[in-house]
């Protein structure tokens, strides 16, 4: 049987959702019988393979142009795109900055912090540029599966993955659906 | 009211002519999602969650909570169309303000979140708005976070209909609509009476108390129904605890005394008192109180008090003690110490007693308040009076009443010398309530007793269980001069009551003080016996209406603190007498 290929990536994220993925513990061995994780921020290979994957998983919101690019790349390379965690679903805790104008946020972060002297707002072509507001990934790409939670529980993630392995689109409910 | 029949979801169900569709559904166990509806408050149809389909050929969609049920109506509550509309509704609410549950203190206990889960909402189809709204943390006990508000108006209705205070209302329209406090005041500077009703009815994390956030969700907590021990109204409470700690005091909407209402003294103050707890018996040695143990404490008690002649012994008990404890204390003083000298810490109560009911205040067209002060306790009575005046158009006459916050509701303010002026008003009214304070005497008492049989007569009591103690035969027997040995069962009594007997205690040779906390009498005590505090006691209280209500313990006392009754039994035992 050919294994289902999965690639993951984190965007504006604290890595908590990926930790929760690891929290499925020994069940990951069972899963690996049916699944090949081609690339992820936790593995040596970081980028999804050229030939693409079956399932792409994104955690974290879209907060700068670099993250936007990564989200679009993942969308192009996967058949089913999963938004994992509140940040990917609707911006999550990253949304906090949406209550302030972008300039104020940058100033506070790079110039006005108490520990900063002679601060400067970084600007360079290799750095992503901050978006005006943070958003979930569905603002820039089409999302097929949403798994909210901050982070989603290991059970929710495991359930969603087993449904995908079995060719079904997961529908979370009961204890598996939570926003905190 | 006549019976009507409706067809709901294809089944014949019964209701009554005055029912809304929601009432009929509730009576028949048909679950309809609601959000702005709260039992006991007027329905306003604000949230549109309870929408139902009405009719067969031409189907109308309307809110079940505000649509009157009619005989023969055909109603559907659970169609795909309705559920899609409900979903849109919830998503719009979530998108409108800050509903990022991961840092909300209500997460896990939020009715909006529950509905979102119920309708399996895993993302929001609409753009989030991110309005920058204020959070008002100015009040001593309460926080209002407009960011979590869904404008259901429950708090407004609770403030207006339960507390009759109307501090809260809406301002602006459309998506700028906000909860407004007085004339755009902060809650601290507002007319708010700190009753806390708004906290209890808010379905989301928009209004909450300052003590309990993040300390436990409902599923991790225990809930104990009991009675407030702060005054003689005897409001029904629900104590929320987790791991033997009190998180919050809620009003009990099932209580037929208070119907969910509490005052700040009952809801918040007990959680804010910082007092030193006695965990072990203390004995005075060379002028200093020294930690001791039960063995030594009972021994000293038996030697000192037990050794005295009955006529030299006196007992004083707090009205915060339960009927059972007061009864046993009386037996201990009477039968074991052979003394008749026993009384209440707050002194004797009025000769004339109320015999009315608090609920009847709301039905009275004339309310007369005589010599009553609601500034410290009995505030829920004040709320009921206000409700009667504001909502039911009752007339209020205040006689010699420092009833703060009530004078603006009164039609007449009289001095006690002018009492006779009230007679004519009474003769013209249908239902009259007379509410009198516990410091009345002489002519006033005589005037009131004239109306004793005819009106709804309510007498405020100086202590929580004063009427219970009176019924057990403790009232006017205490003769201070005769007390060489003074046994004070203070439980967790407040200093302002205890202050009155400092002089008595000073004169006594040996003072036993059974108390939960260090207090103004501690200095005079020769022996201190630790006692349970309010949340640790069980038994019964008799409120000022004469209703006897169950007091249930919500937490367990520290290991060294014994039940007051157990202590008395072991003292009697040591003396060689049986007490039960
Ligand atoms: S009020 Fe309810 S829905 Fe809003 S953030 Fe808090 S828990 Fe979530
Ligand atoms: S605490 Fe009571 S009086 Fe104050 S705003 Fe809330 S409901 Fe109104
Ligand atoms: S503060 Fe709470 S109760 Fe009041 S309108 Fe907002 S959500 Fe409703
Ligand atoms: S009115 Fe009295 S019994 Fe009621 S909550 Fe206030 S203090 Fe407690
Ligand atoms: S419950 Fe009926 S409209 Fe809110």
CB contact under 8 A, A180 and B128: no
Q: What is the pLDDT of residue B307?
A: 86
Which of B35, B89, B92 has the most ligand 5 atoms within 8 A of CB, as the residue to mutate? B35
The answer to whether the CB of B203 falls within 8 A of the CB of B152 is yes
As a whole number of angstroms, the distance between CA B183 and CA B147 comes to 20
Q: Is B376 contained in some domain?
A: yes
Q: Which fold has domain A4-95+132-176?
A: Rossmann fold (3.40.50)
Question: Do the interacting molecules here have an ipTM over 0.90?
Answer: yes
Domains in chain B: how many in total? Answer: 4
As a whole number of angstroms, the distance between CA B389 and CA B230 comes to 26
Calculate mean pLDDT across residues B444-455.
88
Which among B266, B312, B373, B328 has a CA at the least distance from the CA of B469?
Answer: B328
Final residue in a domain of this structure, among B247, B272, B297:
B272
Q: What is the pLDDT of residue B451?
A: 87
- Summarize pLDDT for B209-250 with one digit per residue, the tens: 999 999 999 999 999 999 999 999 999 999 999 999 999 999
Q: What is the pLDDT of residue B403?
A: 62
Q: What is the pLDDT of residue B404?
A: 67
Q: Is B113 contained in some domain?
A: no
Determine whether B408 is exposed, middle or buried from the number of CB atoms within 10 Å of its CB (0-12, 13-18, 19+). exposed
Which of B21, B46, B150, B153 has the most ligand 5 atoms within 8 A of CB, as the residue to mutate? B46
Q: Is B427 contained in some domain?
A: yes
Contacts for B209 with CB less than 8 Å, ≥ 6 apart: B141, B142, B143, B196, B199, B248, B268
CB contact under 8 A, B100 and A173: no
CB contact under 8 A, B100 and A92: yes
Which among A68, A66, A87 has a CA at the least distance from the CA of A76?
Answer: A68
Q: What is the pLDDT of residue B71?
A: 97
Same domain, B473 and B327: yes
CB contact under 8 A, B104 and A180: yes
Which chain A residues are within 8 Å of B102, Cβ to Cβ?
86, 92-93, 150, 179-180
Same domain, B328 and B372: no
Instruction: Using pLDDT thresholds of 50, 70 and 90, give the confidence band for residue B475.
Output: confident
Write out B295-347 in H/E/C secondary structure. HHHHHHHHHHCCCCCHHHEEEEECCCCCHHHHHHHHHHHHHHCCCCCEEECCC
- Summarize pLDDT for B279-300 with one digit per residue, the tens: 999 999 999 999 999 999 999 9
CB contact under 8 A, A86 and B103: no
Q: For ligand 4, what atom is nearest to the CA of residue B267? A: 5
Domain boundaries, position B433 = 358-460
Q: What is the pLDDT of residue B477?
A: 66
* pTM attached to this predicted model: 0.94
> Residue B156 to residues A176, B167, B179: CA-CA distances in angstroms?
35, 8, 8
> Residue B503 to residues A35, B52, B521: CA-CA distances in angstroms?
84, 70, 10
Q: What is the pLDDT of residue B580?
A: 78
pLDDT at B442 over 90: no
Cα-to-centroid distance, B358 and ligand 2 (Å): 21
Show which residues on chain B lie within 8 Å of chain A, measured between beta carbons: 100-104, 107-108, 113, 116-117, 120, 122-124, 128, 130, 132
Q: Is B394 contained in some domain?
A: yes
Q: For residue B35, give the ligand nearest its CA.
A: 5
The answer to whether the CB of A91 falls within 8 A of the CB of A134 is yes
Which chain B residues are within 8 Å of A177, Cβ to Cβ?
117, 120, 122
pLDDT at B538 over 90: yes
Alpha-carbon Rg of chain B, whole angstroms? 28
Residue linked to tokens 């907060």: A63
Same domain, B184 and B263: yes
As a whole number of angstroms, the distance between CA B28 and CA B466 comes to 44
DSSP element (H, E) containing B25: helix B21-27
Which of B153, B158, B166, B169 has the most ligand 3 atoms within 8 A of CB, as the residue to mutate? B153
Q: Is B229 contained in some domain?
A: yes
Tokens of B20: 């809304």
The answer to whether the CB of B386 falls within 8 A of the CB of B160 is no
Q: Are strands B432-436 and B366-370 parallel, antiparallel or unpaired?
A: parallel
Calculate mean pLDDT across residues B398-421.
87
The answer to whether the CB of B175 falls within 8 A of the CB of B96 is yes
pLDDT at B365 over 90: yes
Task: Share the mean pLDDT of chain B.
Answer: 95
What is the interface size between A and B, counted as CB pairs within 8 Å?
52
Determine whether B299 is exposed, middle or buried from the number of CB atoms within 10 Å of its CB (0-12, 13-18, 19+). middle
Residue from the list A146, A150, A171 with its beta carbon closest to the beta carbon of B123:
A146
Calculate mean pLDDT across residues B105-120.
97
Instruction: Using pLDDT thresholds of 50, 70 and 90, give the confidence band for residue B400.
Output: confident
Same domain, B339 and B299: yes
Same domain, B500 and B563: yes
Tokens of A110: 């790079």
Tokens of B555: 């937490």
CB contact under 8 A, B103 and A178: no
Phi/psi of residue B247, nearest 5 degrees: -95, -40
Same domain, B314 and B226: no
Q: Is B338 contained in some domain?
A: yes
Cα-to-centroid distance, B106 and ligand 1 (Å): 6
Same domain, B404 and B289: no
Same domain, B252 and B290: no
Instruction: Using pLDDT thresholds of 50, 70 and 90, give the confidence band for residue B393.
Output: very high
pLDDT at B156 over 90: yes
CATH label of the domain that carries residue B307: 3.40.50.740
Residue B244: CB atoms within 10 Å: 13
Q: Is B108 contained in some domain?
A: no
Determine whether B426 is exposed, middle or buried from the number of CB atoms within 10 Å of its CB (0-12, 13-18, 19+). middle
Calculate mean pLDDT across residues B392-409.
87
The answer to whether the CB of B216 falls within 8 A of the CB of B288 is no
- Residue B52's DSSP bridge partners are B62
Final residue in a domain of this structure, among B78, B112, B140:
B78
Q: What is the pLDDT of residue B286?
A: 93
Phi/psi of residue A71, nearest 5 degrees: -65, -40
B294-304 vs B564-575: helix crossing angle, rounded to 10: 60
| Helix, strand, coil share of chain A (percent; to 5) | 40, 20, 40
Q: What is the pLDDT of residue B347?
A: 87
pLDDT at A126 over 90: no
- Summarize pLDDT for A20-54 with one digit per residue, the tens: 999 999 999 999 999 999 999 999 999 999 999 99
Q: What is the pLDDT of residue B487?
A: 95
Same domain, B479 and B335: yes
pLDDT at B577 over 90: no
As a whole number of angstroms, the distance between CA B532 and CA B517 comes to 9
Q: For residue B544, give the ligand nearest its CA.
A: 4
Residue B224: CB atoms within 10 Å: 15
Q: CB under 6 Å to ligand 5: residues?
A: B 34-37, 45-50, 63, 65
Alpha-carbon Rg of chain A, whole angstroms? 17
Does B263 sit in the ligand 2 pocket, CB within 6 Å? no
Q: Is B493 contained in some domain?
A: yes
Does B198 sit in the ligand 2 pocket, CB within 6 Å? yes
Final residue in a domain of this structure, among B438, B460, B482:
B460
CA distance B247 to chain A (A): 22
The answer to whether the CB of B380 falls within 8 A of the CB of B360 is no
CATH label of the domain that carries residue B265: 3.30.70.20
Q: pLDDT exceeding 90 applies to what percent of chain A?
A: 93
Which among B351, B345, B283 has a CA at the least distance from the CA of B316?
Answer: B345
Give strand ranges (E) for B469-562: 485-491, 510-515, 527-530, 539-542, 548-551
Cα-to-centroid distance, B45 and ligand 2 (Å): 22
As a whole number of angstroms, the distance between CA B166 and CA B145 comes to 19
Which of B192, B204, B208 has the most ligand 3 atoms within 8 A of CB, as the residue to mutate? B204
CA B114, B119, B120, B121 torsion: positive or negative?
Answer: negative
- Nearest chain B residue to A148, by CA: B122
> Residue B462 to residues B241, B327, B343, B437, B524: CA-CA distances in angstroms?
29, 19, 13, 8, 24
Instruction: Using pLDDT thresholds of 50, 70 and 90, give the confidence band for residue B348.
Output: confident
B11-16 β-sheet, strand order: B11-16, B3-8, B74-76, B51-54, B60-63
CA distance B357 to chain A (A): 46
Same domain, B259 and B168: yes
Does B336 sit in the ligand 2 pocket, CB within 6 Å? no
Which chain B residues are within 8 Å of A143, Cβ to Cβ?
123
Closest residue by CA, ligand 3 atom 2 = B202
Q: For residue B217, give the ligand nearest its CA.
A: 1
Q: pLDDT exceeding 90 applies to what percent of chain B?
A: 89
Which among B164, B241, B106 has a CA at the least distance from the CA of B408?
Answer: B164
Report how far apart the first and last C-alpha atoms of chain A are (Å, whole number): 37
- Summarize pLDDT for B255-279 with one digit per residue, the tens: 999 999 999 999 999 999 999 999 9
Cα-to-centroid distance, B142 and ligand 2 (Å): 9
User: Which residue in B93, B114, B122 has the most chain A C-beta atoms within 10 A of its own C-beta, making it the best mutation to test that interface?
Assistant: B122
Burial B541-576 (b: 16+ CB within 10 A, else e): bbbbbeebbebebbbebeeebbbbbebbbbbbebbe
Cα-to-centroid distance, B416 and ligand 5 (Å): 49
Phi/psi of residue B316, nearest 5 degrees: -130, 140
- Nearest chain B residue to A97, by CA: B130
Closest residue by CA, ligand 1 atom 7 = B107
CATH label of the domain that carries residue B450: 3.40.228.10
Instruction: Using pLDDT thresholds of 50, 70 and 90, give the confidence band for residue B401.
Output: confident
User: Which residue in B101, B102, B119, B146 has the most chain A C-beta atoms within 10 A of its own C-beta, making it the best mutation to test that interface?
Assistant: B102
Domain boundaries along the sequence of chain A:
4-95+132-176
């Amino acid at each position: 049987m050919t294994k289902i290929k999965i690639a993951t990536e984190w965007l504006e994220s604290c890595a908590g959702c990926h930790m929760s993925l690891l929290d499925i513990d020994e069940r990951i061995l069972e899963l690996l019988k049916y699944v090949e994780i081609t690339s992820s921020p936790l593995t040596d290979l970081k980028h999804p393979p050229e030939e693409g994957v079956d399932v792409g998983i994104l955690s974290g919101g879209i907060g700068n142009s670099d993250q936007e690019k990564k989200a679009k790349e993942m969308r192009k390379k996967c058949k089913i795109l999963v938004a994992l965690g509140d940040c990917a679903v609707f911006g999550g805790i990253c949304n906090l900055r949406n209550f302030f104008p972008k300039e104020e946020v940058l100033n506070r972060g790079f110039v006005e912090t108490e520990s900063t002297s002679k601060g400067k707002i970084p600007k360079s072509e290799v750095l992503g540029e901050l978006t005006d507001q943070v958003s979930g990934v569905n603002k820039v790409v089409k999302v097929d599966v949403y798994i909210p939670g901050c982070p989603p529980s290991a059970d929710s993630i495991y359930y969603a993955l087993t449904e995908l392995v079995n060719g079904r689109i997961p529908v979370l409910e009961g204890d598996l659906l939570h926003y905190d | 009211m006549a019976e009507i029949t409706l067809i709901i979801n294809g089944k014949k169900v019964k209701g009554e002519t005055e029912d809304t569709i929601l009432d009929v559904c509730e009576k028949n166990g048909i679950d309809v999602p609601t959000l702005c509806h709260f039992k006991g408050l007027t329905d306003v149809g604000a949230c549109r969650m309870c929408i139902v389909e009405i009719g067969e050929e031409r189907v109308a969609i309307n809110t079940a909570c505000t649509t009157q049920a009619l005989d023969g109506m055909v109603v559907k509550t659970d169609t795909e169309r309705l559920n899609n509309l409900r979903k849109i509704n919830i998503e719009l609410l979530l998108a409108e303000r800050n509903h990022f549950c991961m840092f909300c203190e209500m997460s896990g206990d939020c009715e909006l979140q529950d509905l979102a889960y119920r309708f399996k909402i895993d993302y929001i189809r609409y753009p989030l708005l991110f309005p920058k709204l204020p959070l008002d943390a100015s009040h001593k006990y309460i926080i209002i976070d407009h960011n979590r508000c869904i404008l259901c108006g429950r708090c407004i209705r609770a403030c207006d209909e339960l507390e009759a205070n109307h501090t809260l209302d809406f301002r602006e329209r459309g998506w700028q609509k906000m909860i407004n406090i007085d004339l755009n005041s902060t809650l601290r500077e507002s007319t708010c009476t700190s009753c806390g009703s708004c906290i209890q009815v808010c379905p989301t994390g928009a209004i909450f108390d300052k003590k309990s956030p993040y300390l436990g969700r409902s599923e991790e907590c225990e809930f104990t129904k009991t009675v407030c021990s702060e005054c003689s109204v005897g409001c029904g409470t629900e104590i929320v605890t987790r791991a033997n700690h009190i998180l919050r005091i809620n009003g009990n909407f099932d209580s037929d005394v208070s119907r969910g209402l509490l005052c700040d003294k009952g809801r918040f103050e007990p959680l804010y008192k910082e007092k030193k707890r006695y965990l072990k018996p203390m004995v005075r040695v060379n002028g200093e109180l020294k930690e001791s143990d039960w063995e030594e404490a009972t021994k000293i008690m038996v030697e000192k008090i037990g050794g005295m002649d009955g006529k030299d012994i006196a007992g004083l008990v707090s009205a915060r003690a339960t009927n059972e404890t007061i009864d046993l204390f009386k037996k201990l003083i009477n039968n074991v110490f052979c003394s008749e000298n026993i009384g209440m810490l707050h002194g004797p109560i009025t000769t004339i007693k109320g015999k009315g009911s608090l609920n009847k205040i709301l039905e009275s067209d004339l309310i007369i308040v005589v010599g009553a002060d609601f500034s410290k306790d009995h505030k829920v009575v004040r709320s009921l009076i206000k409700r009667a005046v504001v909502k039911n158009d009752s007339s209020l006459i205040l006689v010699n009443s420092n009833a703060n916050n009530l004078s603006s509701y009164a039609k007449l303010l009289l001095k006690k010398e002018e009492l006779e002026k009230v007679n004519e008003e009474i003769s013209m009214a249908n239902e009259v309530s007379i509410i009198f304070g516990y410091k009345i005497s002489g002519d006033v008492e005589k005037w009131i007793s004239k109306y004793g049989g005819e009106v709804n007569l309510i007498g405020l009591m100086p202590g929580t269980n004063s009427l219970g103690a009176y019924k057990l035969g403790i009232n006017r027997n205490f003769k201070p001069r005769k007390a060489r040995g003074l046994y004070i069962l203070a439980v967790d009594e407040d200093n302002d009551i205890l202050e009155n007997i400092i002089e008595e205690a000073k004169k006594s040779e040996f003072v036993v003080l059974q108390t939960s906390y260090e207090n103004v009498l501690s200095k005079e005590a020769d022996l201190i016996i630790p006692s349970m505090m309010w949340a640790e006691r069980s038994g019964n209280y008799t409120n000022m209406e004469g209703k006897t209500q169950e007091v249930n313990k919500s937490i367990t006392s520290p290991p060294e603190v014994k039940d007051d009754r157990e202590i008395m039994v072991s003292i009697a035992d040591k003396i060689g007498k049986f007490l039960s």
